[in-house]
Amino acid sequence: MNRPRVVIAGAGFGGLTCARALKHAPVDVLLVDRNNYHLFTPLLYQVASALLDPGEIARPVRQLIRPLHNADFLQASVTGVDLEDRRLLTDHGPLHYDYLVLATGARTDYFGNASLAAHTLGLKELDEGLAIRNHILSQFEASRWTTDASERRRLLTFVVAGGGPTGVEMAGAISELIRLVLRKDYRDLDTNEVRVVLIEAAPHVLVQFVPSLRHAALRSLERKGVEVMLQTKVDAVTEESVNLAGSHEIPAGTVIWTAGVKASEIGRTTGAPLVRQERIKVADTLQVPGHPVVFVIGDLAGAQHGGAPLPMLIPVAMQAGRHVGESIADMVSGGGAKAFRYKDPGIMATIGRNSAVAQLSWLHLSGFPGWLFWLGVHLVNVISFRSRLVVLVNWAWEYLFYDRPVRLIVRARQ
């Protein structure tokens, strides 16, 4: 008798956790992803800011599932879902499933603004992190060739749009890269010509945090030389500048967009009802209504917690992945799916050297204690022991010697 086939679309935190939760279930698991690696996204900004190499935050999926004797992997781009015939559609052909878990994550949201899509750099994928690193370093090289002071200032103006954790971490990392490392590489660099600007439409950075931690993060950014512009909206971006609401313009050679995310495009292809941010509407069991063998987890799932949408965070995806794996195992054994209950472990963000904020229920940390806590949590959760060791060495080297080891402009041939 053939065992039920569980197809998991997406090898991110949710998909991989779900596969591991099915390790001892009497099913065959098939992971499908367009990339052959699992990415530790919390440290992607450190690839973009020349501190870590891609191999230190990404591991091959096939390596990670070796201990799962009932699991396999196929590299393919998911193009849709045929819910009636129980088929996951890919660019390599359809895959039949008995149970389906959709865990394809999120993508950058430009809110329909074509200029943002055309002239900004995103930070969701590994190739985007490398593109940012290449671009920042290339701007410094280009600035050495111009004698026009205003053009040099434009080349050396770096704008980060979005004051959430990703934007705050990216702005702090760029500032430290420039002021602690690149000023030594470019001995004739006038740091007064360099600008790092963080733009946020809300009245505060890190709006998810309590006021005391927001203020601590803002003070830390300003101490690191980041210009923070609050209650400011980006209207348009060109190759030469950022146009803000109110007709203000910032000449800039680099704009990094971290101000919006929405669910992956797979949601539209299912025909299932969508909710805010194009997430698939799900029952409290994370099943698609009318299709009990189809589950949605992570950023793609429009699940609720206390009447509000669950945040697009890694802990949500991992807890949901574990829950769905257990539900499928129960269903195979004749049971049923149970309601998902999210347990909030807290949130954190780093602003760079010696500075981070962490909000863990009643415990609020900032400054150096928050930074130590952030380091410990991220080091423990890095994908493999080898990666933990290399990341720790690179962090220690940068901390002691104010140096970043991967200041390389590398472009792959197509």
pLDDT at residue number 361: 87
The torsion angle over the Cα atoms of residues 151, 156, 157 and 160, rounded to 10 degrees, is 140
Q: What is the pLDDT of residues 70-123, one digit of tens each?
A: 999 999 999 999 999 999 999 999 999 999 999 999 999 999 999 999 999 999
Predicted confidence band of residue 405 (pLDDT cuts 50, 70, 90): confident
pLDDT at residue number 406: 81
Active site residues: 169
Predicted confidence band of residue 381 (pLDDT cuts 50, 70, 90): confident
Question: Phi then psi for 228, rounded to 5 degrees?
Answer: -105, 125
Please name every residue paired with 288 in a beta bridge, in sequence order, or none if there are none. Answer: 291
Q: What is the pLDDT of residues 157-197, one digit of tens each?
A: 999 999 999 999 999 999 999 999 999 999 889 989 999 99
Cα–Cα distances (Å) from 368 to 43, 159, 322, in that order, read 19, 26, 33
Alpha-carbon distance 99 to 288, whole Å?
A: 12
Alpha-carbon distance 216 to 121, whole Å?
A: 27
Q: Residue 372 class from Cβ within 10 Å (0-12 exposed, 13-18 middle, 19+ buried)? A: middle
Res 300 pLDDT > 60 = yes
Predicted confidence band of residue 306 (pLDDT cuts 50, 70, 90): confident
Res 313 pLDDT > 70 = yes
Q: What is the pLDDT of residues 17-30, one digit of tens each?
A: 999 999 999 999 99
Look at phi and psi of residue 334 and say left if phi exceeds 0, alpha if psi is from -120 to 50, else beta: left
Q: Tell me the average pLDDT of the chain.
A: 94
> Residue 7: which of 84, 72, 80, 92 has the closest Cα?
72
Coil, helix or strand at residue 364: strand
| CB of 126 closer than 8 Å to CB of 12 | no
Coil, helix or strand at residue 318: helix
Alpha-carbon distance 36 to 325, whole Å?
A: 22
Q: What is the DSSP string of 306-358?
A: TTEEPPS-HHHHHHHHHHHHHHHHHHHTT------------EEEEEETTEEEE
Q: What is the pLDDT of residues 333-348, one digit of tens each?
A: 999 999 999 999 999 9
Q: Which residues contact 326 (CB under 8 A, 6 or more apart)?
A: 21
Lowest mean pLDDT across 74-78, 138-142, 152-156, 302-306: 302-306
pTM of the model: 0.94
Q: Around 10, how many Cα atoms within 13 Å sit in the side-chain half-sphere?
A: 28
Please name every residue paired with 96 in a beta bridge, in sequence order, or none if there are none. Answer: 87
Instruction: Identify the structural domains of the chain with CATH numbers, from first to last.
Output: 5-34+76-108+261-332 (3.50.50.60), 114-259+353-401 (3.50.50.100)
Coil, helix or strand at residue 306: coil
**Amino acid in the structure at residue 292:** P
